[in-house]
Amino acid sequence: MSFSDIFKSGFLDNVTAVSVLDMVLAMVLSFALVLFIFYIYKKTYAGVMYSSSFGVTLVALSMITTLVILAVTSNVVLSLGMVGALSIVRFRAAIKEPLDIAFLFWAIAVGIVLAAGMIPLAVIGSVIIGLIILVFANRKEHTNPFIVVLQCEDHASEQAAAAYLKNHTKRCVTRSKTVQRGLIELNLDVRLQDDNTDFINEVSELEGVKSAVLVSYNGEYMG
């Protein structure tokens, strides 16, 4: 085959460029592996609102990528045209969770590797990645973080409330402080010694403390 023959292409010649067996095998394996990716995504999701459409997007993205790469690997001219066509595509969907980016890239990578014929790499690599994500994403802290929102009248009541919290918690760190006439508002990050939260009622009864609210959160959003 000469250099000029590479760039010769015909519509009918491309019909048999990829065998039916290769197409079916690549698409079936892509579907099976992306179901595994979807399962890992459901098991490790830690956001506020779960979106089932994102899981469907992972399935479609992996299979579409497999389809495109199969076409690209069968024709040099088509691969050059595909690069130009995809270069004008822009996506504006917002990614809410940082880990979602990893799942999107994982689904695309599986489609590319499978279509390239590297089946063991796609299978073994996906299993290893899935196990690593399961281990690290499901790792939880032994002590749940809490936020204490204090409203005090003056500096003396602020010092008394902060000292009380430090004596009755494992950790107490001031995250923010807002001061205005007749009111001081504090947001303190605390770690409890046990499950007993009665101390918050005792703090609210201190002289000069207008209110004390204990809020549980996971370190990412208020809840």
Q: What pLDDT does 83 receive?
A: 59
Q: Is the pTM of this model over 0.95?
A: no
Contact 191, 146 (CB under 8 A): yes
Domain boundaries 145-216, CATH class? alpha beta
Cβ neighbours for 146, distance < 8 A, ≥ 6 positions apart: 189, 190, 191, 192, 214, 215, 216, 217
Question: What local confidence, expressed as pLDDT, does residue 94 receive?
Answer: 67
The angle formed by the CA atoms of residues 58, 63 and 67, to the nearest 5 degrees, is: 145
Q: What is the pLDDT of residues 16-63, one digit of tens each?
A: 667 788 888 889 999 999 999 999 998 888 766 667 788 888 889 899
Q: Rounded CA gap, 110 and 125, in Å?
A: 9
What are the residue ranges in the chain where pLDDT is below 70? 1-17, 47-50, 74-94, 138-144, 218-223
C-alpha separations of 109 from 51, 76, 89, 115, 118 in Å = 22, 21, 18, 10, 11
How high is the pLDDT of residue 121?
A: 92
pLDDT at 123: 92
pLDDT of residue 213: 86
Domain limits, CATH 3.30.70.260, in the chain: 145-216
Q: What is the pLDDT of residue 75?
A: 63
Rounded to whole angstroms, the Cα distance separating 26 from 73 reads 13
DSSP 222: B
The pLDDT score that the predictor gives to residue 158 is 87
Per-residue DSSP letters for 188-200? Answer: EEEEESSS--THH
